[in-house]
Structure 1
Amino acid sequence: MDSESANSDSQPQPLSSQNVDACHEMSSLEDLANRGAWRSIIDKVSRARALSLLHKPHDHLTYLAFNALAFTKLRRFNEASAELDSLEDLDSSHYRYETYPKIYPNRVGSMVPFSLRWLSALIPIKLGQRQQGMDRFYTLLDFVRGKIKEKGENNNLGVSLNLWRKREVFVVNCIIGHHLSQKEFGVCLSLMKELLSRDDGSDPLLVSQLGYMQLQIGDLEGAKVSFLKVESEGKNNGSLSEVEFKNLVNRNKALVYLVGKDYVSAVREYEECIERDNADVVAVNNKALCLMYLRDLSDSIKVLESALERVPTVALNETLVVNLCSMYELAYVNHSDIKRTLSSWIARVAPDDFDASCTRT
C-alpha cells in the first residue's frame, strides 16, 4: 500500500455514479495521503464501507491499511489499534490470493499491505506496550530478510529484491530509532554494522547514520572515519543524485564542526548545501541554530522564516517550528503575538498531522 486522496468537503453530497467511482478510486487515496489529508482519508474509507463499495478481499485490506495509517498520523492510536484488532493473523490463508482462485486467477502470495505489518508493530509502542511492539519489529525484520533470501534464491534480482532490501533498511531504522529513544546505543551500533555488512558497506546514507551514532556516544574519531569513507567511497553509489551526495558530505563535515563548537565553519558547510538546494531543510535548520549559538538571533530567525516562505511544504516540520518559536522567545518581548501569527499561517497550510502545539502559543 502507498496512499490515496479525496474531497475533504464535509458537506453531505448526493450519491451518484460519479461519487461511487470516486469512493473506490485508489489513486485518490494515494493523492490524499501525499497531501497529508488524513481526515479526508478517514471520511472516504467510512463512506466506501457504508456504501458497500469494497467487494474483493484485498480492497478491504487496502482501505483498512489507509484508515489505520490515517488514525496513526493523527495520533488517534486507540482507533488505529481497533482497526488492526479486526484482522486475523496477517499470515492467515484468508489473506492469500490463492485462497480465492475465481477472484484472482493465477495469482499467489499474500495480499497484506506491508504498511499493515509495520503498523502492527508500531501501534503497541505508541500505546505504551513497548516490548510487544519491539518483538513485532524484530519479527517483521525476520520476515523481510526471509523475503530477501527467497528472492535471491529464485534469482529474482530485479525490482522486487530491491524493494525488499529498502524495506529491510526501513525496518532496521525503525528499530534503531526506538532503541535510540532509550539510549541503547550498543544495540544500535550492532544493528547498523550488521546492516552495512549485508550491504556492500558503501551506502553513503547508511555509513553516515553510523557516523551520527558514533557522535552520540562520543566517538568523534570513529565518526570522522565513517564520514571520510562516505566522501571517498560513497560517490560510487548510485542511490543519491550528485547534489544529494555533495550535500550529505557537507552536512557530515558540519556536524563534526558543531561538536567542536566551530559554528562559523559549520555555517559555511550548510551555506554550500543551501546554495545547491534551497529545500535542504536539515541544512537550513542547522545553519539557523549555528547562527543562534553565534548570538546572531536576527539572522537565524531570517533563515527559518525565509525557508517557510520559500518552500513551506518542505520546511514546515515540528522541529523547525519549535526552533523558530524558541528564537522568537529569545529575541522579542511580544513573542506571543508573533507566535500566534505563525500559528494562524500554519493552520491554513499545514497537513492534518502537523502538531500545532509545537508553537507553544
Structure 2
Amino acid sequence: MEFENQEHGEENRTLNPDLRNQSISDPLSNQLGSVNDLCFEISSLQDLAFRGSWRSILDKISRSRKLSLLQKPHEHLIYLCYNVLALTKLRKFIEASEELDTLEDFESSQYKYETYPQVYPNRFGSMVPFTLRWIHAELPMRLGNRGETLDRLYLLLDFVREKLRIKELEKFDVSVENWRKREGFVINSISNHHLSNKEFGVCLKLLKDLVNKNESDPLSLSKLGYIQLQFGDLEGSKNSFNLIENLLKDGNYSLDEVKMKNLVNRNKALIYLVGKDYISAVREYDECIERDATDVVAVNNKALCLMYLRDLTDSIKVLESALESIPTFALNETVVLLLMILIRLVLVFKVFNEEARLL
C-alpha cells in the first residue's frame, strides 16, 4: 500500500491563490521540514511497512501508546491506521475489525481539525487517513461479508468523487490530482471484487468510465485491457495496450520512464502469453527485469512462462534469485506460493520418474 496516498488532512483553506498553485514539495510553501514533522516517528513506521515487518509495527505502536508518546489527535489516527494495516497483513482480521470498532463515525467532529483550534490553527477538514477509510471498506470481505465491502467501497467512491468535485471548483491542482488517483484506486478495488466473482460486465463499465475521464492514464488503460482479455476480446485488449504505447511514444504519461516502458513490455508479454508464445513472453519480461530488477511482476510471470515451457529448474532459479537479491520486493505471497508449487512439481516428477524406472 502506498502511504503517500494517505489523507492526513485536507489542505489549509486559508492559503492565498498563489500558494495554492505551488507544488506541495516546494520548500517555500511546505510547512513540514520532514515527514516526521507530520507525525511522531512516522518514517520508522513507513520503513517497517515497506520491509513487511508487520509484527515490529505492532510492537512499536503498542510501545508508543503505553508510553503516551502520541500527543496530537491525528497521530492517534495515523498509528491506528498502521495498526489495523499490520493486523490485516498478519491475517488477524477479527482483531483489526475490533480496532476499527473503537472509532466513532469518520465524519464525527472529533476527527475534524477545527475541533482543536489550539493544536491546528487555521486548519479545517477531516484528519482521517484515506488509507483508513479504504481498509474500513475492505475488511468485511476478509470476514466473509463481500456485500458489506462492496457497499462500503461504493460509498467511499461517492465520498471521493464529492471531494474531487469540490477541489476542482477550488482549482487546487495538486489536491485534484491526488483525489483523481484515489478515485482510480477505489474503482480498481471495486473492479477487483467484481472480477473475482466473474462479473466482467460491471468491471468493463467501471474501467471504461474511468478511462473516458482520463485517456492518458496508462494504468487504467492497462486494467481495461486485462478485463477485455477476460472477456475474450483480444483485439479490444490489443487496442487498449496500443494506446499505452502511443502515450509512451508521445511522452504523454504520468509514470516515470522506466515504469512506463516496463508496463508496455508486460502488456506485450501478456498478449504473447495468451497466444501461448511463451518464448516471446519471456523475452519481454527479460527486458523489464534488465531495466528494473525490482519488477516483481515481470519476475513472477517470467517464472510462470518457464513453467509452461516445462523448464522447472530455470523457473525456480528465477524466483530464488529474486528472493535473494531483492527480498524486500520479492518476498510476497504470490512469489512464494509459485516457488512452492514449482518445487512440489519437481519432487512429483522425480518420484514419477523413479517409479517408472523401477517398472
Give the structure 1 partner of residue 131 of structure 2. 115
- The correspondence for 1:229, drawn from 238, 243, 257, is 243
- The correspondence for 2:342, drawn from 327, 349, 355, is 327
Q: Work out whether 1:282 is the aligned partner of 2:312.
A: no
Distance (Å, rounded) in 1 between the aligned partners of 2:181 and 2:237? 24
Residues 333, 54 of structure 1: alpha-carbon distance in 2 compared, 3 angstrom cutoff: same
Query: Is the deviation greater in 124-133 or in 39-48?
Result: 39-48
Unaligned 5+ segments in structure 1 are 4-22, 337-361
Give the structure 1 partner of residue 324 of structure 2. 309
Q: Counterparts in 2 of 1:128-277, with a 5 A limit?
A: 128-157=144-173, 159-199=174-214, 201-235=215-249, 236-277=251-292
Distance (Å, rounded) in 2 between the aligned partners of 1:149 and 1:295? 52
Matched residue type, 1:150? I
Residues 37, 144 of structure 1: alpha-carbon distance in 2 compared, 3 angstrom cutoff: same
- The correspondence for 1:80, drawn from 96, 112, 115, is 96
Deviation (angstroms), 1:221: 1.2
What's the TM-score once normalised by structure 1's chain length?
0.82
Unaligned 5+ segments in structure 2 are 5-38, 352-359
Give the structure 2 partner of residue 60 of structure 1. 76
Distance (Å, rounded) in 2 between the aligned partners of 1:268 and 1:139? 43
Q: Work out whether 1:91 is the aligned partner of 2:107.
A: yes
Residues 335, 117 of structure 1: alpha-carbon distance in 2 compared, 3 angstrom cutoff: farther
Residues 242, 100 of structure 1: alpha-carbon distance in 2 compared, 3 angstrom cutoff: closer
Deviation (angstroms), 1:39: 1.5
Deviation (angstroms), 1:335: 8.6
Distance (Å, rounded) in 2 between the aligned partners of 1:118 and 1:58? 17
Cα pair 1:257 1:265 within 8 Å, conserved: yes
Distance (Å, rounded) in 1 between the aligned partners of 2:297 and 2:256? 17
Query: Which fold has the larger relative contact order, with Cα–Cα distance below 8 Å and residues 6 or more apart in sequence?
Result: 2
Q: Counterparts in 2 of 1:4-43, with a 5 A limit?
A: 24-43=40-59
Residues 123, 196 of structure 1: alpha-carbon distance in 2 compared, 3 angstrom cutoff: same
Deviation (angstroms), 1:319: 1.6
Matched residue type, 2:331? L
Cα pair 2:218 2:253 within 8 Å, conserved: no
Matched residue type, 2:122? N
Aligned residues, how many?
315
What's the TM-score once normalised by structure 2's chain length?
0.82
Matched residue type, 1:106? N
Deviation (angstroms), 1:174: 0.9
Superposed CA offset, 1:223-255 (max 9, x none): 111111111234433322222222221211111
Distance (Å, rounded) in 1 between the aligned partners of 2:63 and 2:262? 45
Give the structure 2 partner of residue 356 of structure 1. none
Give the structure 1 partner of residue 63 of structure 2. 47
Distance (Å, rounded) in 2 between the aligned partners of 1:140 and 1:246? 32
Distance (Å, rounded) in 1 between the aligned partners of 2:346 and 2:317? 12
Residues 301, 38 of structure 1: alpha-carbon distance in 2 compared, 3 angstrom cutoff: closer
% identical aligned pairs: 65
Distance (Å, rounded) in 2 between the aligned partners of 1:66 and 1:237? 35
Distance (Å, rounded) in 2 between the aligned partners of 1:297 and 1:32? 34
